[in-house]
């Protein structure tokens, strides 16, 4: 690019008419000017500085453009003072060069003159306007109004501000596509707007080219592209096109969807201009709600509050539909050259649909018109008194049901209800101080049930009964044992009483000492919930029992014993502590004793239960030595033994504790009650003995022999090593009367005495005088086994035991068969 330049060279001399300027305490020579981007040739003269001196001077120049950036631009001739320019200078980098001029005496180089100097760089139009962005991309809603701001562009020119070189003008060069309904324009500030109406269906994007040009002699310019994207607006109304569903709803239900509405919209999906919202008109009770399917825009009608067939069998509704984004309408009527165009708008018309919901009848539960009732009753009132009446209503007017009332909740069981009428009566006396009463109120719940329906429908009513308090409780001491310190002066302790009645019939209480202790003890004060029991100084350390009269507000009183321990508090801060400890120990011992007695009684009762029944055996053998006793009747009962049938009288238990028998002048006592207690009273009946004492079942004893064996097992052979407990495992049970038993016992005792008289008397002999076990090798040691004894070991005891049996009874025990019948 070629430029024309005008070079002005100013030569300033101190002796000339050109004045010097004072600047920051130094003289400044008027500035020189250098044209930006001067094409040369270089160097060229900028000007000359002259000084009128009688001696020779040397000129020097330093500062920006000489020895500071931009270096090498200027120089000065040291002898003549001519300033030359050696290269170009860019205005956008250095708009002025500040330098210092010196004149020195050439003979001694002393500074003669020092002045400041400025060189101005004259700007030329060498920079075009530059936009901040290469492309502007914006989005505008279709419903934007004309004249509104769309986007602003900005270009910057680096040339000197305020000069034509940096003054910029904006202009729209082109718009693609060109539509009749829109015209874009740009303001001096670079703001772009439009006239007319956007139509997304006509054009959804515009490309605008904008130019920025300065005002220099040679104008420089640049361009930028603006892309305007249209967002579809709601310029098409939604329309309800149809419905699906039965439109029927069962009464008393919710959560069902009886109907679905279908809607069409020409706007772009799924934008806010396409999405719709539904509203319901005619649903005064709020039974329905409708929400939108986000994928299809269908409206789903839902029951949110149960409907009542008896109240309204049909529901007529109107459903409206609108878009989420407000509807707009824009149509160009007139295009003017100046100003905005003339446009018209059309008001929206909502789409709607009338629907009818049919309510289907269902069985409704009964209900109480007054489900919560309040009643006031007196405490301790008459049983059977009328309380209240609850009445339930069956909403099924077309088919009424039979209703029955019952008490559902009555914690204390104080009330009853007539199942037909619903009348409530007092069943038991009311107690306001009961744990079931809260703040004086007792709650009863009554249940009503449809008896002729399956499943039965129910409903409840709540009766809140306020119980009026009566003075039916007396004051009570909180503690009936207190302590007081023993001293020579008056001392006291606190006494507290309480009353279960309400405030009107309770404290504060009146306290009074009764009896013989009025002189030594008193209350101060004597009125209140907690008072001080004052001990007179005459009372010594002791345990005192006082009779205290406590009266409530209404004068109802009680006499209570109060134990007061007076002791030396210097020894123990609480003189009841040691006493209480002793009482606790004594109580523990008493408790252990009672527990042991109860256990003994339980054992006796258990043994009695085990031994008692509707039928008892004749005798029960006591197992005195458990390890040594062995039941002899362990084999199965024989089938070849028959006892003659006998008639036994009804047993009568003797109540005499002891019966006395005399034998050979000696008196013997037998526990008849113990024997008789084992006899069970039954009617006379024949009894057949089906059990034999013989192991080989070859012979049986007669009834008398059998009874005698029982008696021997009970009395004579209890200490024997091989004592029998035959009656404990006997399958057949035998009974005799007490009189017969006494007669038999007398006979058997006499027989025993006669047998002893027949035995020979032998003098005691000493068989061994020293311990020499070697002489008794034929004798086997007797060892009682600790484990369970095997009864089969007794089947063959050997000749030694037979010989022993013959010694004990030489007349009757010689037969081998006797050894097998249990008498050993």
The stretch 127-145 carries a mean pLDDT of 93
Short-list 406, 426, 314, CA closest to 366 = 406
Q: pLDDT class for 26, splitting at 50, 70, 90? A: very low
Look at the alpha carbons of 401, 402, 408, 414 in this order and tell me if their dihedral is positive or negative. positive
544 to 286, 491, 516, 540, 551: CA distances (angstroms): 78, 15, 11, 10, 22
Angle formed by the axes of helices 738-758 and 703-711, nearest 10°: 80
Highest mean pLDDT: which range of 161-165, 279-283, 472-476: 279-283
Q: How confident is the model at residue 388 (pLDDT cuts 50, 70, 90)?
A: very high
What percentage of the chain carries pLDDT values higher than 70? Answer: 67
Residues 6+ apart with CB under 8 A from 496: 477, 478, 479, 529, 530
Cα–Cα distance between 381 and 329 in angstroms, integer? 81
DSSP 718-778: TTSTT---GGGG-SS-----HHHHHHHHHHHHHHHHHHHHHSPP-------SS--GGGGTT
For 700, other C-beta atoms within 10 Å of its C-beta total 19
389 close to 422: Cβ distance less than 8 angstroms: yes
524 pLDDT band (50/70/90 cuts)?
Answer: confident
The pLDDT of residue 154 is above 70:
yes
Could you give the CA distance from residue 22 to residue 115 in angstroms, rounded to a whole number?
10
**Three-state helix/strand/coil letters over 196-229:** ECCCCCCCCEEEEEEEEEECCCCCCEEEEEEEEE
pLDDT of residue 759: 52
What's phi and psi for 738, nearest 5 deg? -70, -35
Q: How far apart are CA 40 and CA 11, in angstroms?
A: 20
pTM of the shown model: 0.39
Coil, helix or strand at residue 237: coil
pLDDT, tens digit (0-9, with 9 covering 90-100), for 682-715: 333 333 333 333 333 334 334 444 444 444 444 4
Residues 6+ apart with CB under 8 A from 464: 372, 373, 374, 375, 441, 442, 443
CA distance 411 to 441: 13
Q: Does residue 803 register a pLDDT over 80?
A: no
Q: How confident is the model at residue 319 (pLDDT cuts 50, 70, 90)?
A: very high
Greater model confidence, 520 or 185: 185
Is the previous residue joined to 43 through a cis bond, with omega within 30 degrees of 0? Answer: yes
Q: Which of residues 667 and 563 earns the better pLDDT score?
A: 563
Exposed (0-12), middle (13-18) or buried (19+): which is 11, by Cβ within 10 Å?
A: middle
- At residue 13, the pLDDT reads 33
User: What three-state secondary structure class fits 235?
Assistant: coil
Per residue in 176-209, pLDDT tens?
999 999 999 999 999 999 999 999 989 999 999 9
pLDDT at 264: 94
Distance in angstroms (rounded) separating the CA atoms of residues 310 and 247: 18
Average confidence score pLDDT of the chain = 75
pLDDT digits 0-9 by tens, 596-641: 888 888 888 887 776 555 444 444 444 433 343 444 444 444 444 4
For residue 19, pLDDT over 80 is answered with no
Q: What is the mean pLDDT of residues 641-656?
A: 38
Q: What are the DSSP E strand ranges found in 274-341?
A: 276-281, 288-292, 299-303, 314-323, 331-334
Question: Residue 449: which pLDDT band, with cuts at 50, 70 and 90?
Answer: very high
pLDDT band at 678 (very low <50, low <70, confident <90, very high): very low
**Polymer length in residues for the chain:** 824
Interval 55-91: pLDDT, tens: 888 888 999 988 998 998 899 888 888 888 999 888 8
Which H or E run includes 182? Answer: strand 182-186
Q: Which of the residue ranges 333-347, 663-677, 803-817 would you say has the lowest mean pLDDT?
A: 663-677
Kindly state the DSSP code that residue 716 receives in the 8-state scheme.
I
The pLDDT tens digits of the residues spanning 248-303 come to 999 888 999 999 999 999 998 899 999 999 999 999 999 999 999 999 999 999 99
The predicted pLDDT at position 419 comes to 92
Q: pLDDT at residue 816 above 50?
A: no
Whether residue 730 has pLDDT greater than 90 = no
Mean pLDDT of 330-347: 89
- Bigger pLDDT: 474 vs 27: 474
In the block, which residue shows the tokens 């018309």? 349
**Do residues 197 and 107 lie in contact, with contact meaning Cβ atoms separated by under 8 Å?**
no
Residue with tokens 């009818």: 356
- Look at residue 206 in the predicted model and tell me its pLDDT: 96
Tell which residue, 89, 108, 86, 106, has the closest CA to residue 97: 89
Enumerate residues 6+ apart whose C-beta is below 8 A from 819: 797, 801, 802, 805, 813
Question: Is residue 395's pLDDT more than 90?
Answer: no
Q: Is the pLDDT of residue 503 over 60?
A: yes
Q: What is the pLDDT of residue 805?
A: 61
Q: Which structure tokens are listed for 819?
A: 């050894």
């Amino acid at each position: 690019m070629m430029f024309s330049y005008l070079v002005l060279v100013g030569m300033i001399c101190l002796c000339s008419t050109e004045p010097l300027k004072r600047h920051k305490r130094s003289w400044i020579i008027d500035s020189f000017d250098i044209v930006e981007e001067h094409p040369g040739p270089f160097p060229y003269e900028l000007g000359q500085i002259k000084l009128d001196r009688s001696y020779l001077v040397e000129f020097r120049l330093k500062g920006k453009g000489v020895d500071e950036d931009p270096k090498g631009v200027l120089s000065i001739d040291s002898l003549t003072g001519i300033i030359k320019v050696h290269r170009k200078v860019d205005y956008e980098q250095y708009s002025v060069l500040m330098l210092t001029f010196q004149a020195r005496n050439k003979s001694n180089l002393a500074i003669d003159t020092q002045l400041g100097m400025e060189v101005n760089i004259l700007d030329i139009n060498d920079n075009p306007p530059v936009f901040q962005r290469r492309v502007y991309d914006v989005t505008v809603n279709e419903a934007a109004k004309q004249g509104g701001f769309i986007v602003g562009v900005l270009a910057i020119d680096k040339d000197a501000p305020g000069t034509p070189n940096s003054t910029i003008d904006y202009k729209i060069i082109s718009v693609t596509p060109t539509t009749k309904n829109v015209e874009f324009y740009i303001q001096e500030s670079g703001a772009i707007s439009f006239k007319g109406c956007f139509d997304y269906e006509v054009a959804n994007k515009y490309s605008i080219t904008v130019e920025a040009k300065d005002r220099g002699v040679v104008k420089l310019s640049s361009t930028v592209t603006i892309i305007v994207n249209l967002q579809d607006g709601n310029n098409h109304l939604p329309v309800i096109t149809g419905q699906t569903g039965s439109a029927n709803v069962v009464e008393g239900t919710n959560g069902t969807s009886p109907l679905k509405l279908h809607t069409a919209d020409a706007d772009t999906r799924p934008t806010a201009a396409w999405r719709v919202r539904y509203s319901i008109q005619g649903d005064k009770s709020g039974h329905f709600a409708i929400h939108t399917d986000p994928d299809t825009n269908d409206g789903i009608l839902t029951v949110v509050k149960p409907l009542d067939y008896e109240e309204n069998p049909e529901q007529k509704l109107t459903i409206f539909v609108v878009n989420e984004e407000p509807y707009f309408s824009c149509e160009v009527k007139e295009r003017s050259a100046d100003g905005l165009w003339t446009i018209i708008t059309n008001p929206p018309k909502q789409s709607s649909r009338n629907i009818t919901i049919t309510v289907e009848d269902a069985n409704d539960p009964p209900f109480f018109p007054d489900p919560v009732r309040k009643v006031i009753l007196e405490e301790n009132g008459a049983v059977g008194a009328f309380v209240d009446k609850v009445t339930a209503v069956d909403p099924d007017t077309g088919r009424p049901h039979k209703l029955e009332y019952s008490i559902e909740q009555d914690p204390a069981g104080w009330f009853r209800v007539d199942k037909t009428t619903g009348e409530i009566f007092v069943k038991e006396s009311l107690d306001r101080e009961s744990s079931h009463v809260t703040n004086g109120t007792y709650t009863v719940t009554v249940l009503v049930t449809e008896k002729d329906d399956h499943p039965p429908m129910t409903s409840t009513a709540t009766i809140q009964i306020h119980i009026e308090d009566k003075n039916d409780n007396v004051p009570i001491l909180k503690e009936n044992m207190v302590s007081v310190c023993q001293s020579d002066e008056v001392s006291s302790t606190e006494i507290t009483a309480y009353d279960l009645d309400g405030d009107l019939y309770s404290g504060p209480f009146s306290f009074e000492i009764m009896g013989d202790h009025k002189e030594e003890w008193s209350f101060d004060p004597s009125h209140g919930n907690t008072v001080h029991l004052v001990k007179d100084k005459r009372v010594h350390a002791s345990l005192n029992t006082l009779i205290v009269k406590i009266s409530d507000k209404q004068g109802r009183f009680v006499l209570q014993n109060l134990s007061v321990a007076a002791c030396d508090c210097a020894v123990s801060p609480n003189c009841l502590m040691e006493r209480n400890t002793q009482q606790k120990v004594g109580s523990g011992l008493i408790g252990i004793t009672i527990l042991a007695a109860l256990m003994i009684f339980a054992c006796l009762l258990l043994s009695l239960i085990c031994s008692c029944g509707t039928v008892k055996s004749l005798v029960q053998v006591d197992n005195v030595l458990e390890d040594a006793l062995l039941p002899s009747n362990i084999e199965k009962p024989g089938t070849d033994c028959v006892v003659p049938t006998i008639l036994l009288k009804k047993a009568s238990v003797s109540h005499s504790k002891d019966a006395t028998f005399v034998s050979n002048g000696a008196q013997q006592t037998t526990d008849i009650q113990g024997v008789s207690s084992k006899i069970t009273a039954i009617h006379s009946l024949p009894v057949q003995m089906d059990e034999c004492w013989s192991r080989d079942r070859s012979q049986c004893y007669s009834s008398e022999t059998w009874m005698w064996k029982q008696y021997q097992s009970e009395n004579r052979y209890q200490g024997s090593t091989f004592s029998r407990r035959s009656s404990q495992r006997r399958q057949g049970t035998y009974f005799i009367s007490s009189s017969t038993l006494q007669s038999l016992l007398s006979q058997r005792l006499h027989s025993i005495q006669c047998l002893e008289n027949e035995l020979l008397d032998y003098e005691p002999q000493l068989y061994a005088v020293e311990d020499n076990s070697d002489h008794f090798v034929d004798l086997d040691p007797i060892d009682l086994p600790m484990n369970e004894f095997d009864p089969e070991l007794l089947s063959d005891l050997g000749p030694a035991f037979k010989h022993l049996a013959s010694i004990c009874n030489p007349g009757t025990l010689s037969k081998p068969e006797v050894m097998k019948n249990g008498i050993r």
